[in-house]
Amino acid sequence: MSQAEPLSAVFQRLIANYGPISLLHYMGESNARYYADKDPFGADGDFITAPEISQMFGELVGLWLADIWVRAGSPQPVHYVEMGPGRGTLARDALRSMKRVGLEPQVHFVEGSQALRALQAEAVPQAQWHHDLGSVPTDAPLLVVGNEFLDALPVRQLVKTAKGWRERMVDWAEDRFRPVAGEKPMDAAVPDALKDAPESTLLETCPGAAAVMHELAARLAAQGGAALLIDYGYAARQTGSTLQALRAHTRVDPFAMPGEADLTCLVDFAILAEIAAGEGATWQGTVTQGAFLRALGIEMRAAHLAAAAPHHAETIQRAKDRLINDDQMGTLFKVMGVTGPQWPQGAGF
Ligand code: SAH
């Protein structure tokens, strides 16, 4: 991949020939290229995620799954499914804590990046890989996790102009990419409540996240199981662009270097809950990451780990604070629980 033509050149040629491309297209191609040949995580990378901050994160996710599985009657066989597992760290930590209570599921990873699949194979050699949920087995309940997966899926943006609603496109002009309003009327794609919104109102939707939730909820309704979706996002509908780009732990212009920075958007948990319920699954709630991890006993787990390794006590406390404090990941990050209709209420919701 590394010898491929820079994505920026591909986009410029495309735009020169056919006119502006949709933001959906721009973000989808940029992230596919970004994840294809990089390991973006950690201190030397572009961003750091919860499982990379501390083993406590994956362990508690694993214990949540084990607890609900036991209360559902310990069905066997059962599949652990992780969407976008990154380096495989969360899965490794979760599987270790599940094993302690007798849960040893088959492991399935939904991952698009070959570079990351190789890293995941080192962390969890027994995993099987899938391009999407379609090939995940249908024979048994699913225990599903997705951490910072949905936020990487491309969004469509609609913007209200003097001429009505238009799709937000990306043009190349004066030596840079810039967002512009498309020509085609898009009023039909906007909910009635927003039809007469003031000029410049922006509506962001993520068709990929909606499609994943449709499929996942239908699977949980049919096969049983439970899912935790963890991401930064909002629990009540809002308008405005949430597109951002991260490179070397710094926010950069999302239009400056396509394919070289991680493009993300906040996740609309309100619409995902409606979709889950519409497919016959049970929406257990959407809570803040801080409240969720506290309810699962992260304070006790941190104290325990610190007592066992006193010279690491400060690092452990700092990691815990980073995961749950309001001014860090505690409030912006949300945890959404979805289960099959016959499954019990999960802890923390
Ligand atoms: N869950 C990990 C990684 C989050 S980054 C962590 O918390 O550290 C996003 C992950 O989703 C990466 O593994 C990326 O390769 C994967 N991904 C992004 N878009 C994808 C897509 N369309 N299909 C499959 N995997 C995708």
pLDDT, one tens digit per residue, over 142-155 is 999 999 999 999 99
- Ligand 1 centre distance from Cα of residue 162 (Å): 38
For residue 235, the model assigns a pLDDT of: 87
> Would the pLDDT of 166 be above 80?
yes
- Ligand 1 centre distance from Cα of residue 16 (Å): 31
- Ligand 1 centre distance from Cα of residue 129 (Å): 13
- Whether the CB-CB separation of 273 and 40 falls below 8 Å is answered with no
pLDDT single digits (tens) 44-77: 889 999 999 999 999 999 999 999 999 999 999 9
pLDDT single digits (tens) 199-246: 999 999 999 999 999 999 999 999 999 999 999 999 888 999 999 999
> Would the pLDDT of 1 be above 80?
no
pLDDT single digits (tens) 251-295: 999 999 999 999 999 999 999 999 999 999 999 999 999 999 999
Torsion sign across C-alpha atoms 152, 158, 161, 166: positive
Q: Does residue 145 have its Cβ closer than 6 Å to ligand 1? A: no
Quick one: which of 177, 181, 184 has its CA closest to 168? 181
Q: Does residue 149 have its Cβ closer than 6 Å to ligand 1? A: yes
Q: Is the peptide bond before 344 cis (omega within 30 degrees of 0)?
A: no
**What is the residue whose two structure tokens read 């502006």?**
20
For residue 3, the model assigns a pLDDT of: 61
- Ligand 1 centre distance from Cα of residue 175 (Å): 31
- Whether the CB-CB separation of 338 and 220 falls below 8 Å is answered with yes
Give the DSSP letter of residue 243: -
- Within 13 Å and on the Cβ side, how many CA atoms surround 61? 30
Q: Which atom of ligand 1 is nearest to the CA of 40?
A: 5
Mean pLDDT of the chain: 96
| Rg, Å, the chain Cα set | 21
Give the DSSP letter of residue 106: E
**CA angle 211–236–272, rounded 5-degree value:** 15
Tell me the average pLDDT across 124-133. Answer: 98
Q: Does residue 41 have its Cβ closer than 6 Å to ligand 1? A: yes
- Whether the CB-CB separation of 46 and 245 falls below 8 Å is answered with no
For residue 38, the model assigns a pLDDT of: 81
- Ligand 1 centre distance from Cα of residue 232 (Å): 14
Tell me the average pLDDT across 9-37. Answer: 96
Mutate to test the pocket of ligand 1, among 80, 111, 119, 322 (most ligand atoms within 8 A of CB): 111
- Ligand 1 centre distance from Cα of residue 53 (Å): 17
Q: Which atom of ligand 1 is nearest to the CA of 146?
A: 1
Which tokens is 37 given? 């040949």
Please give the Cα distance from 15 to 7 (Å, whole number).
12
Please give the Cα distance from 110 to 193 (Å, whole number).
36
Q: Does residue 265 have its Cβ closer than 6 Å to ligand 1? A: no
Q: Which residues contact 55 (CB under 8 A, 6 or more apart)?
A: 93
Q: How much is the pTM? A: 0.96
Which residue's CA is minimally distant from atom 20 of ligand 1? 112
Q: Which atom of ligand 1 is nearest to the CA of 32?
A: 19
- Ligand 1 centre distance from Cα of residue 283 (Å): 23
For residue 2, the model assigns a pLDDT of: 52
Mutate to test the pocket of ligand 1, among 1, 113, 136 (most ligand atoms within 8 A of CB): 113
> Would the pLDDT of 343 be above 90?
yes
Which residue's CA is minimally distant from atom 23 of ligand 1? 112
Please give the Cα distance from 157 to 205 (Å, whole number).
6
Which tokens is 287 given? 């809570």
Q: Does residue 110 have its Cβ closer than 6 Å to ligand 1? A: yes
Which residue's CA is minimally distant from atom 2 of ligand 1? 86
